[in-house]
Structure 1
Amino acid sequence: MAADQETNTEPAPGTRTGRGGALDGAVVAVAGAGGPAGRAAVLRLAGAGATVVAADADRERLAEAVAAARSAHGGATVTGDTVDLFDLAATREWAARTEKEFGRIDGLVHLVGGWRGSATFAEADPADWELLEKLLIRTVQHTSLAFHDGLLRSDRGRYLLISASGAAKPTAGNAAYAAAKAAAEAWTLALGDAFRKAGGEEGPRAAAAILVIKALVHDAMRAERPNAKFAGFTDVTELAEAIAGVWDRPAREVNGNRLWLTPGP
């Protein structure tokens, strides 16, 4: 997947872009790096000159994401580690180890996902909530608590949650999913308020923001369903571009905000 859309400015394979932008030299952790969106984000961040610390529960998918980024950007530092984000102590250890090894931590991109739904509201299964609460809420709680202090020490700290428009406008068959996403958003906005208060009169130095999509699409999905339109879906490469772009904006501008990549409700 290309990090840039303009072919006339795309660097040759195996080179690091290192454009001297806001991400050059930054250290960014990506939770859920093994999925299509995580892989695209790791590629884009590495291409922008960031050191990327990738984590995923699936060792094989994580290794593939790390290898792809290293191959595409030969000068980039990209590491991978399996971390149990359901365990707060393990997540704190990951954050502390990252900052100790690289001397700083400038971002956490939260791409841990999952979906469960039903045909009707009456058919909703409480077991879906139990799973989604762990995947979509508890991992946000643990990563935000673990990386909070390190992001405050950074001069460009960013905590980014990827959410869905369904959190603001739930449908009958997505009750558990929408409720979990809404809770994760509320937790992230509370983190943003903590960053605001820590900044005092000068404003926040770090920012917590929510990137809102309808749904994601990637090349494999298009290949499996060649006749599907995927109307309103965000391509994972577009999401990766938006993620990287948050570092180009002042913390005061993005902190505590929902950044819509799809029309709002």
Structure 2
Amino acid sequence: MGNGALNGAVVAVAGAGGPAGRAALLRLAEAGAVVVGSDNDPERLAEAVDAARYAHGGATVTGETIDLLDLDAVRAWAARTEKEFGRLDGLVHLVGGWRGGKTFADTDLGDWDLLEKLLIRTVQHTSLAFHEALQRSDRGRYVLISAAGAGKPTAGNAAYSAAKAAAEAWTLAMSDYFRKAGGEQGPTSAAAILVVKALVHDAMRAERPNAKFAGFTDVKDLADAIAGVWEKPAAEVNGNRLWLTEKP
């Protein structure tokens, strides 16, 4: 087990059942963290939790089916987790989703309604539910995964890019909270944004063996970058975008 910054840390992972969540559970468990995953798909979540437990015997990895669109449920999840493990050192936000079209004209505002829930509301709820516990930690980290398109939207991606930009702004407001709470000594906790172009995993490569996936970030590399947020001082990552792809 790890002996670094994550050893003994208690980290919650929202969206733990997807490929990126799976990789994050494995990496955090490997680093010695207690990992608490949530997903809205109980079967997918159970598989991800079992895989991380199996890979790292002795690691504490748990999973709960949480509706992240229910603020009270998310607050209860945060309170329960802190009570059970005595601390909360992180929330990794891996709830994704994409909808888009080819042109600006064919934008479907129904896509916005969905993405606003998936990409913004879940960030609002997890940040509001977890920020106080993260501030109480000596190494609290809130990690948002965002997309390069938030700063350079393409015509067909208006809804997606706008939702990502809103999630970034919300996360940066929380980083200002951490900055102010730290006073003259600087922040002890941090909210950071990891920026990718898009994610790729082994199953995608197997499905499209000839695809190049240029500029994509492998979910394993993303998991390394997530763990790396704890390796750096809070002041260095708080309120910063950490680029895992070329800046547009």
Which bin holds the TM-score, normalised by the shorter protein? over 0.9
Q: SS at 2:231's partner residue?
A: coil
Identity %: 80
Letter in 1 for 2:149: G
- Residue 240 of structure 2 corresponds to 257
- Residue 81 of structure 1 corresponds to 64
Work out whether 1:21 is the aligned partner of 2:1. Answer: no
Distance in 2 between the 1:264 and 1:233 partners? 13
- Residue 207 of structure 2 corresponds to 224
Work out whether 1:135 is the aligned partner of 2:129. Answer: no
Distance in 2 between the 1:157 and 1:176 partners? 31
- Residue 11 of structure 1 corresponds to none
- 1:169 corresponds, among 152, 163, 175, to 152
- 1:196 corresponds, among 155, 179, 202, to 179
- Residue 52 of structure 1 corresponds to 35
Residues 71-110 of structure 1 deviation map (CA, whole Å, 9 limit, x = unaligned): 0001100000000100100000000000000000000000
- Residue 220 of structure 2 corresponds to 237
Letter in 2 for 1:126: L
- Residue 54 of structure 2 corresponds to 71
Letter in 2 for 1:186: A
Note the residue ranges of structure 2 that are not aligned, 5 or more in a row. none
Letter in 1 for 2:94: L
Work out whether 1:38 is the aligned partner of 2:4. Answer: no
- 2:189 corresponds, among 198, 206, 210, to 206
- TM-score of the aligned structures, taking structure 2 as reference length: 1.00
Distance in 1 between the 2:212 and 2:245 partners? 16
Note the residue ranges of structure 1 that are not aligned, 5 or more in a row. 1-17
Distance in 2 between the 1:181 and 1:245 partners? 22
TM-fit CA distance, 1:239: 0.2
TM-fit CA distance, 1:20: 1.2
- TM-score of the aligned structures, taking structure 1 as reference length: 0.93
Runs of 4+ in 1 over 6 A off after TM superposition: none
- Residue 165 of structure 2 corresponds to 182
Distance in 1 between the 2:173 and 2:247 partners? 21
Distance in 2 between the 1:126 and 1:262 partners? 29
TM-fit CA distance, 1:119: 1.1
Distance in 1 between the 2:2 and 2:20 partners? 23
Q: SS at 1:54's partner residue?
A: strand
Q: SS at 2:8's partner residue?
A: coil
Residues 236-256 of structure 1 deviation map (CA, whole Å, 9 limit, x = unaligned): 000000000110000000000
Distance in 2 between the 1:59 and 1:161 partners? 22
Structural mapping, 1:90-109, within 5 Å: 90-109=73-92
TM-fit CA distance, 1:19: 2.5
TM-fit CA distance, 1:113: 0.4
Distance in 1 between the 2:151 and 2:132 partners? 29
Q: What RMSD, in angstroms, separates the aligned Cα atoms of the two structures?
A: 0.4
Query: Number of residues paired by the alignment?
Result: 248
Distance in 1 between the 2:3 and 2:51 partners? 22
TM-fit CA distance, 1:132: 0.1
Letter in 2 for 1:51: V
Distance in 2 between the 1:53 and 1:19 partners? 17
Work out whether 1:114 is the aligned partner of 2:114. Answer: no
Work out whether 1:155 is the aligned partner of 2:138. Answer: yes
Distance in 2 between the 1:54 and 1:230 partners? 28
Distance in 2 between the 1:248 and 1:67 partners? 26
Letter in 1 for 2:4: G
